[in-house]
Homo-oligomer: A and B are copies of this chain.
Amino acid sequence: MYGAVIHGAGDVRFEERPDPVVVEPTDAVVRTVAACVCGSDLWRYRGIAPVPKPTPIGHEYVGVVESVGREVTSVRPGQFVVGGFRTSDNTCELCRAGFQANCLHGTGYEGCQAEYIRVPNADGTLVATPDVPDADRVPDLLALSDVMATGWHAAVSAGVTPGCTAVVVGDGAVGLSGVLAAAQLGAERVIAMSRHADRQGLARRFGATDVVAERGTDGADHVKELTDGLGAHAVLECVGTQDSVDQAFACARAGGTVGWVGVPHAGTLPLEDMFWRNVGLRGGLAPVRAYLDDLLERVWSGAICPGLVFDLTLPLSEVGEGYAAMDERRAIKTLLQP
Q: CB within 8 Å of B: which residues of A?
A: 93-94, 97-99, 101-102, 157, 228, 230, 253-255, 257, 260, 263-264, 266-269, 271-272, 274-285, 287
Contact = CB atoms under 8 A, between A and B. Distances in A.
Contacts of A284: 274-279
A254 B94 contact: yes
Nearest to A281: B281
B266 A282 contact: no
Contacts of A255: 94, 97-99, 102
Contact of A268 (B268, B278, B280, B285): B268
Given A94-B254, A98-B255, 11 more contacts: A94-B255, A99-B278, A101-B278, A257-B282, A263-B275, A264-B271, A264-B272, A269-B269, A274-B281, A278-B282, A280-B281
Contacts of A274: 281, 284
Nearest to A255: B99
Contacts of A266: 271
A32 B315 CA distance: 78
A284 B98 CA distance: 26
B157 A277 contact: no
A278 B94 CA distance: 11
A105 to B, nearest CB: 13
For the complex of A and B, 6 pairs with smallest distance between CB atoms: A280-B282, A99-B255, A102-B254, A278-B284, A275-B284, A264-B271
